[in-house]
Chains A and B, each alone.
Chain A
């Protein structure tokens, strides 16, 4: 699998579908997943029966959602290393193995719950839910704009990097870093310009804070 494929997969967590899980209101799904995570994260370390029950519940929900399990597993594997790196440290202390297994079970179950949520719920639905929950409008505007333009900026950055690569032969590390910083700086300059245009467009459509 190429890096591009991994990235594409990483950036499109939503898996379209019409299953019962997909059709549930976002509020219900978010509430259920949050409750499950809260319980899981704060259970005592050795509550193996509860972990098994949660795993069964999540598996049932995943089967009902008809999202291919391989896809969910793939996303899980992409994120798992971050948790693993931190948990490995726990191995080096007294009773480390127990601790390590408990942490890894907890974090894997919680990650699966989040992966399932993002696979069956559009991010825009979650954002709409936030505004119903009385989150300050400024924060929602920030989140929405960020979500809307993240992919635009990432594409722009990729185009700039491709252009840079196609114009430069093999470079040393210092030159690569310098070029990287140049791409990032131009990305910001372009974002600032884009923000001006967005503001004009928003005003033209009658936007008020």
Chain B
């Protein structure tokens, strides 16, 4: 999902850059305020860990291999603000050292993969943890579904940015990105859950640390990230989300030429595009998204059921102290 250089136009890149800078600034401020000094190296090491985990490909089947994005893993292990910092550091190093993801698209990549995915994952995780009973099984289930949601949300933002830049039509990019990432998200959910379950089995205190006092004053940052992500989605996705047949052109025209706010003033990227069949596309996208979410939710439930059971009876399962103890 790394956007290379040349795929975004200047207004999209600048908007993404501003959103990303604000978000990372808030994350840095929060982490500096709440993180105990002795955990500062852990943030750096966690960034190296997420980078390394992204490099370890796992087989998906048919010769293809997938890899982890890792934002929900970082959220569950470190909390939201440190996770934003970790993902940003990973993206910056990937951009400058390995040329993976463009320099002009760095803001967009940070916004999608460090802010949207982290915040979505965190919000879903918190919500599900609060709704369910406070058991390891609930937490695993929340992890799985949060990982899926974060992947799909990041893909949605990415598709919106590409469409708003006029690079690829929305009707083309949104089904492709969302469709593929609904599958990739299942893999992300599975791997994140397996890793979190394995850490909970071997070193549960590493997971417990996150729910400590550092989380008490988290409402301000939560609101700020939420506002940033919502603002971004309104700018990047809302112009395309109207299901009426001429919604695209009208939305772009309204937002582009009526003087509303500076943030939503965007030029129409779709001048010569005939919007035939959009209403079926939009509806089927929404429908497919709904079905995908339900499938992913059921999958998360099953996954949590499969992996939380041995945790309830710690005496039954011998401690797992080597990486080579696959059943």
Tell whether B228 is near chain A: CB-to-CB under 8 Å.
no
Q: How far is the CB of A47 from chain B (nearest CB, A)?
A: 12
| Contact for A163 among B13, B31, B324, CB less than 8 A | B324
Q: Is A205 an interface residue (CB 8 A)?
A: no
Provide the A170-184 mask, 1 if CB < 8 A to any CB of B, else 0.
Answer: 010101111111111
A167 within 8 Å of B (CB atoms):
yes
Contacts of A111 on B, CB cut-off 8 Å? 4-5, 99
What total of chain B residues lie within 8 Å of the partner, measured CB to CB?
80
A79 to chain B, nearest CB (A): 5
A16 to chain B, nearest CB (A): 16
Chain B residues near A157: list those with CB within 8 A: 52, 56
Q: Are B327's CB and A178's CB within 8 A?
A: yes
Partner of A79, one of B13, B44, B100, B273: B100
B44, A146: Cβ atoms closer than 8 Å: yes
Q: Does B309 reach chain A (CB closer than 8 Å)?
A: no
The size class of the interface chain A forms with chain B is 35 or more
Chain B residues, CB < 8 A from A177: 58, 190-191, 194
Point out the residues of chain B lying under 8 angstroms from A176, CB to CB.
58-59
CB neighbors of A among B1-49 (8 A) = 2-10, 13, 24, 28, 31-32, 37-49
- Is B28 a contact partner of A138 (Cβ separation < 8 A)? yes
* B48–A145 touching, CB < 8 Å: yes
B323 contact from A41, A183, A196, A199, Cβ within 8 A: A183
Q: Is the interface of A mostly helix, strand, loop or mixed?
A: helix
Cα distance, A89 to B175, chains bound together (Å)? 11
Interface residue B203 (Cβ < 8 Å from any Cβ of A)? yes
Contact (Cβ within 8 A) B51 A146: yes
Q: Which residues of A contact B (CB under 8 A)?
A: 10, 13, 34, 37-38, 40-42, 75, 79, 82-83, 86-87, 89-90, 92-95, 99, 102-103, 105-107, 109-111, 114-115, 117-118, 123, 126, 136, 138-139, 141-150, 152-154, 157, 160-161, 163-164, 167-168, 171, 173, 175-189, 191-192, 194-196, 198-199, 202, 209
- B interface residues with partner A (beta carbon < 8 Å): 2-10, 13, 24, 28, 31-32, 37-49, 51-53, 55-56, 58-59, 61, 68, 77, 85-86, 88-90, 92-93, 95-100, 102-104, 162, 167-169, 172-173, 176, 190-191, 194-199, 202-203, 206, 272-273, 320, 322-327
